[in-house]
Amino acid sequence: VYDRYVGAGWVTGPAPPPGIPADTPLLPGLLEGYKPLHLDVDLIQPEGRLFWSGMLFSADVPLTVEWRLRPPSSLFADQPALLQADMFHAVSDATSYRAESFVPNVTIEALRLASTEYPEEIAERYLEIPASVPERVGGLALEITRGQTNPYDRAKAIETYLRENYAYDLEIPAPPTDRDVADYFLFELKRGYCDYYATAMVVLARLNGIPARFVSGYSPGTYDSLSARYIVRELNAHSWAEVYFPEIGWIEFEPTASLPEIERAATEASLPAVQADDPTASNLLTRFRVERISVWGLPLLGAFLLIVLYYTFIERWVYLRLAPALAIERIYRRLYRLGRPLAGERTRAETVHEFMSKLNAAFDGFKTGPLRRRMFALAQRDVRLLTNTYHAALFRQTQLNRNEIKLALQTWRHLRLRLLYGRLILSLKNR
């Protein structure tokens, strides 16, 4: 990911690279409006770089990460703060690995309604344009977007203009050393490959007051149905543009004429259904939720058995396929959501152990008889175990192992029922 345009091309600012142990979460929380992506990678010719899509959460190999802006360390960091995390790249010598990431699952409607109040760190870095860019580039930028009333439609107008008016061509000479690349491509060359398209889109977007950045990587390659995997070759090397939307994050645009446009659902109602042959754990969960919605037309017993099946077998299978750090993150998030009505409102600076103390104090108030005393004493034990496991995933030098996740899942299965019972007691008290 490149941030600074200097007329002759793209450069990136310095970022000290810290070493990261395998399966260490790079983000302190899950992203709303995003879906997890599990990417298994086998490299035939290792390049020393890690490959992923979206926002990288973790990898099951040690790596070195270069940040421009590190994510907040607070467990309960809000969505805008998490989305400002700015990674330049990740480096690893591994030839095979699993990368866990988050990819946007957003509609055109949401992008059109996004705020235009950009965070200071984003605006300062991703609206920068060198003084060497000729005025006619700015004039073209405003002409292309005339009549558009929001950043998404302006970005889309720029993308469409480039796709429709410039020919894709790999056989072109290098631009003159004294010329601005975007200006040369837009007004004289009028043909080129992905680097030219992406550069032009980022510059035109910034001249419209829209934060944008230049990203290089690879297109998806070709799908091999025999091995059920995508094969990505060097010829799939690609560059594209990304535009920042507050409270949504970085969204890809494809200005290069030789590749298909990126399809997006218009509204929530038209979000695409999950593909039946998609084997990722996250999409298995999505399929199962969709099927459960249609179950309520069946007899009540059938619905009950389906729910039992999910919580007894499917959930365990799904979580054990995830990276340990991501699995315990999800378990703890569920604990937090169910326990929040009992523990009361939190402060932004509250640690996981402070939240644990509040929740266990609430359990003390439910111990009004022998049965309840035993039940909620066990709940307090379970909360301590899951909190300590999650804390270890965040700060321990060694990664969690499979047995620790199995124990966490077994603990959560019992604690979930005790939390629901506690909420029932509380709701009856408040009537």
Question: What are the chain's domains?
Answer: 4-269 (3.10.620.30), 322-429 (no CATH)
| CA torsion angle 30 34 35 40 (round to 10) | -80
Lowest mean pLDDT segment, chosen from 121-125, 165-169, 416-420 = 416-420
| CA atoms within a 13 Å half-sphere pointing along the CA-CB vector of 87 | 23
pLDDT for residue 26: 76
With CA atoms as reference, report the closest residue to 322 among 399, 218, 417. 399
- CA–CA dist 40, 60 (Å, integer): 10
Q: Which tens digits make up the pLDDT trace of 162-172?
A: 999 999 998 88
Find the DSSP H helices in 145-299.
Answer: 151-165, 181-184, 194-207, 281-295
Section 240-260 average pLDDT: 93
Average of per-residue pLDDT values in the chain: 79
Say if residues 62 and 92 touch (Cβ distance below 8 Å): yes
Confidence of residue 254 (pLDDT cuts 50, 70, 90): very high
Which has the higher per-residue pLDDT, 177 or 290?
Answer: 177
Which has the higher per-residue pLDDT, 107 or 79?
Answer: 107
Share of the chain above pLDDT 70, in %: 77
DSSP string, 112-131: HT------HHHHHHHS---T
